[in-house]
Structure 1
Amino acid sequence: MKSAVVVFPGLNRDRDMVTALEKIGGTPPVVVWHKDAELPDVDLIVIPGGFSYGDYLRAGAIAARSPMMDTIRERAEKGVHVLGVCNGFQILTEAGLLPGVLMRNASLKFVCKEVKLSVANANTPFSKEYASGQVFRCPIAHHDGNYFADAETLKSIEDNGQVVFRYAEDTNPNGSINDIAGITNAKGNVLGMMPHPENLIEPAHGGEDGRGIFAGLLGPVNTYG
């Protein structure tokens, strides 16, 4: 599967994401600057984490207005898979590709630690390597990860199975409603999540819990010797 990593000013997890995609998929992704004229034909588009444009206005708000997001929206409508992690999730909500918003953490503090995630929906391309209800570890690092949606939107995404990952075992780090850590669009080909699976994909990271998210898209999980 061909993949691309889209980079905006202020992102700082692009190299981690490129490494994860190459190690798991076996092929380096195309790295695309947000002002590039074209996005190559790929099967997976990833927007990594960081602080695009310094999180001015709101986290992800300025990046969401980039012309590149129009291209990503068009590709998503055609069925291309899109993954937004942390700031990438914020950008996807600000651009209207995912419902809801990401607000300041309930603690009003930046949080960087490991949490537990449970798989709320294992029937997506992003979660099919996990079992339904499976709990796994994943790192987080964010200040604006508090997911919120109005009652009607929340009921819709819950009823449609769009909630893919939840914070588990009382590890919700930000106050997200219904412990939501990751959601898809109604079509199921766009996923946004606050935790960083790319930072737990090999023994050097302390575990491989995050590999399944990429393996479901890129192919079988590679092993390390």
Structure 2
Amino acid sequence: MSARIGVITFPGTLDDGDAARAVRYADAEAVPLWHADDDLHGVDGVVVPGGFSYGDYLRAGVIARFAPVMTSVIEAARKGMPVLGICNGFQILCEAGLLPGAMIRNVGLHFVCRDQWLRVENNETAWTTRYEQGAEILIPLKNNDGCYMAEQSTLDMLEAEGRVAFRYVGGNPNGSRNDIAGIRSESGRVVGLMPHPEHAIDALTGPSDDGLGMFYSAVDALAKV
């Protein structure tokens, strides 16, 4: 039986269809999850996709964090369910307290849209085992509030505990501290990153198929449960 990975849709979500396609490319079943429904419908993992949930009013991700579905995601994540937050999804996971730190406006206050090289800093999470440690992957990036910020003590903890999952290579596009592009939870089951792996699953339509490894990694992790 294939893994069942839920993909959440909030008002303003843009990339749920792409995330669901990436799940299917990894030979898993993509299960649509609605923001106002607290039932996760028996999924094995969750993707919180990118977009502009609730129009990014107040602060990116802050309203979505209080959606009924997130109450269930937070509970499931704390019990070990793999969760991936992409772009706005990363912002939501930070607002929900599943990942430390916060996202603020890009340095220069410009929307950034480009193909971005990342280095895999930790390949022992539920979403990164298909990569070699230190591998460089090409993933599209598109954000306005993508600057990762945290107190120095938090940054020191992330670095000391190997919790930086991805780091920008070849220039920091948004001013993130320590060139951080993505981080993981203490357990390694929850990962958030600003670039969009779901847009890099097929070399015909993206700059690479490097993003597919994240979804295959989750399927591998679920097969071991």
Q: TM-score, normalised by structure 1?
A: 0.94
Q: Which residue of 2 aligns with 1:65?
A: 66
CA distance in 2, matches of 1:68, 1:219: 25
85-94 or 156-165, which moves further after superposition? Answer: 156-165
What SS is found at the alignment partner of 1:201?
coil
What SS is found at the alignment partner of 1:16?
helix
Alignment of 1:61-100 (within 5 A): 61-100=62-101
Give the C-alpha shift of residue 127 in structure 1: 1.2
CA distance in 2, matches of 1:37, 1:111: 33
Give the C-alpha shift of residue 87 in structure 1: 0.2
CA distance in 2, matches of 1:153, 1:144: 20
What SS is found at the alignment partner of 2:12?
coil
CA distance in 1, matches of 2:62, 2:151: 19
Give the C-alpha shift of residue 33 in structure 1: 0.6
Q: Which residue of 2 aligns with 1:19?
A: 21
Q: Which residue of 1 aligns with 2:186?
A: 186
CA distance in 2, matches of 1:70, 1:24: 27
Give the C-alpha shift of residue 67 in structure 1: 2.2
Give the C-alpha shift of residue 118 in structure 1: 0.3
CA contact (8 A) 2:126 2:190 kept: no
The residue identity in structure 2 corresponding to 1:66 is A
What SS is found at the alignment partner of 2:113?
strand
The residue identity in structure 2 corresponding to 1:15 is G
CA distance in 1, matches of 2:182, 2:36: 27
Alignment of 1:186-225 (within 5 A): 186-205=186-205, 206-219=207-220
Unaligned runs of 5+ residues in structure 2 are none
What SS is found at the alignment partner of 1:29?
strand
Give the C-alpha shift of residue 68 in structure 1: 1.7
Report whether the alignment pairs 1:156 with 2:157.
Answer: yes
CA distance in 2, matches of 1:82, 1:177: 23
CA distance in 1, matches of 2:219, 2:81: 13
Q: Which 4+ stretches in 1 moved above 4 angstroms?
A: none
Give the C-alpha shift of residue 42 in structure 1: 1.7
Q: Which residue of 2 aligns with 1:136?
A: 137
Q: Which residue of 1 aligns with 2:127?
A: 126
1:61-104 per-position Cα deviation (integer Å, ceiling 9, x unaligned): 10011122111111011100000000000000011111000010
Q: TM-score, normalised by structure 2?
A: 0.94
Give the C-alpha shift of residue 41 in structure 1: 1.7
Q: Which residue of 2 aligns with 1:10?
A: 12
What SS is found at the alignment partner of 1:212?
helix
The residue identity in structure 1 corresponding to 2:107 is A
Report whether the alignment pairs 1:50 with 2:54.
Answer: no
Give the C-alpha shift of residue 169 in structure 1: 2.0
1:166-212 per-position Cα deviation (integer Å, ceiling 9, x unaligned): 00122x21000000000011111111000001101112224211111
What SS is found at the alignment partner of 1:76?
helix
CA distance in 1, matches of 2:211, 2:11: 26
CA distance in 2, matches of 1:37, 1:48: 17
